[in-house]
A and B are shown apart, each in its own frame.
Chain A
Amino acid sequence: MNTSRILYCHCAYAQVVPKEVKELVLKRLCAAGVAFEAVADLCEMSARRDPALKRLTEGGTLKIAACYPRAVKWLFEAAQAPLPAHGAEILNMRVQPADEVTEALLRPGLEPNLPAGKATRPSAAELPKTEVAA
C-alpha cells in the first residue's frame, strides 16, 4: 500500500508542462480511487508564501507530480515550507511521460530524489568513455 501522500501541481498559469501529460496523470489519479492533493500552481503558492504549502509538507512522506526537482525544492524553501530531505519524491511532468509519472505516484514505496548540495552534471567529455558510448 502506498503510504506517501500525493501532490499534483496543475501548473495552471503557463504552458510549460505538456497539457496531455498533466491531463492523463490527473485522469489516472481520479480513476485509481486514491486520495490526493491537487493545487493549481505551486509557483503561485510559493510567491504568496501560501500557508497551505506548510500543510502539504507535514505528516510524512510525499510524492509530487510537478516539474524539475531542483525548482520544486526551492519553491517550497522560498515559502518557508521545506520539503523533508529524505521524504520527498518529485516526478517531472515536463520531461517524464504520463505513464512513468502515474506509475511512480501509485506504486508502494518512495524513491527520494530531492537534490542535495551543489551538483553539476559533468559534460560528455568528462564522462567515462563507456557512459558516453551508451
Chain B
Amino acid sequence: MTLKEQVTLRVVLYEGEGSQPLAAADQFAALTALLEKGFAVTRTGATGRVAPADRSPLLVLGSFSQGKAIQAEDASGTVPVRFADITGWDVARIVQTVESVREETQAARQGDWKPWFPVIDYDRCTNCMQCLSFCLFGVYGVSAEQKIQVQQNDNCKTNCPACSRVCPEAAIMFPKYKAGPINGDEVSDADLQREKMKVDISALLGGDVYSLLRQRSEKAKSRFSKERDSDKALNERKKCLVKLVEGGDIPPEVLMSLPSPEEIQRRAQEAMAKAQAALAGRAG
C-alpha cells in the first residue's frame, strides 16, 4: 500500500442555531462508530472552540428543526459543504451516510493499514545514520540537508521495532509499541545503558544480525547440500529465528520475509553507502 496525501472528510456533529440538542448517549454512540471507521469528527458545543475550516470537505450532521437541514455554503466556494438531518437515525445509517459522502468527495479512506512506522525524536537524534544503515526495507532516507528522515513509512514491517533498538540515543519511537521508551515514554539512563540500546546490534545476537543470518543460512545450505538433510537445515534456521524473536521482539513474520542472504548483503551495503554519503555530506 502506498500512503497518499489526501484530504480527510471532516464530519461535524452540529448542535446550535436551527437544531435540536442531541442526547449525550447518542452522540457518544455516533462518535465511537465514526471514529472506529477512521473518520475525524468535530463536535460543536455550547462552550469551547473548534479548529478553523480548511479545504477539507465538510459534512454537517444534526437534528435540524422540523427535519430541515440548515442551508449554508462556503463563501469562497472552495469547501464542499453537505448537510444531513439525522433525527431518528440509528448509528448504522449515520455511518453509511458518512461513508457515501466520503466516496463522493474522494476523501481519504482510513483504517486499511495499521499505522506502524518509526517516529524520530530530533531532540535526541544525533544523525548518526545507524538506523539508515540497519534498515533493509528502505524506510529511512536523508533530506537535502543530509538529515535522517523517515521517507517510506509504509515500507515498515508491522510490529517490528528493530531499528529503535539499534539507536544509541533511543531517539526512534513506535507510538503503538507496548513498552517504553520505544512507545514515547521518557528515556531513562537505564534505557541508554541497556545492551539492547547500544549501537552494536551484537548485544542482541552475539554478532551482526545480517552476517549472522547469512552465516546461518550458508551453513544450513552447505549442510543441506552435503547431507541432503532438509530437516537439519530447517531446524538450524528455526533456531536462529527463535533467538532473534526472543532477543529483539522482532515478529517472526518479519524475519521470514527477509530476502536471500545475497540480497540482504546487497541492501545492507546500499544502505551503508547512503549513510556514509550523508555523513560525508554533512562533514563537508
Check if A120 sits within 8 Å of B51, measured CB to CB. Answer: no
Distance between B121 CB and nearest chain A CB, rounded to angstroms: 5
Check if A48 sits within 8 Å of B108, measured CB to CB. Answer: yes
Given A52-B10, A55-B56, A56-B51, list of 19 further CB < 8 A pairs? A5-B50, A14-B176, A16-B176, A26-B31, A30-B27, A33-B45, A34-B45, A35-B42, A35-B45, A36-B43, A37-B41, A40-B40, A43-B115, A44-B113, A48-B4, A70-B173, A70-B186, A121-B186, A121-B188
B154 sits at the interface (CB 8 A):
yes
B contact residues vs A (CB 8 Å cutoff): 3-8, 10, 24-25, 27-28, 31-32, 35-56, 108, 110-111, 113-115, 117, 119-124, 150, 153-154, 169, 173, 175-178, 180, 183-190, 192
Which residue of chain A lies nearest to B121 when distances are taken between CB atoms in the complex? Answer: A74
23 A/B residue pairs, CB under 8 Å, sorted by A: A1-B47, A2-B47, A10-B32, A10-B36, A33-B47, A35-B43, A35-B45, A36-B42, A36-B45, A36-B50, A39-B35, A40-B40, A51-B5, A51-B55, A52-B10, A68-B175, A70-B185, A72-B184, A74-B122, A75-B175, A118-B169, A119-B123, A119-B187
Check if B36 sits within 8 Å of A78, measured CB to CB. Answer: no
Contact of A37 among B50, B183, B184 (CB under 8 A): B50
A contact residues vs B (CB 8 Å cutoff): 1-3, 5-6, 10-14, 16, 23, 26-27, 29-41, 43-52, 54-56, 58-60, 67-72, 74-75, 77-78, 94, 115-123, 126
Check if A41 sits within 8 Å of B115, measured CB to CB. Answer: yes
Check if B185 sits within 8 Å of A30, measured CB to CB. Answer: no
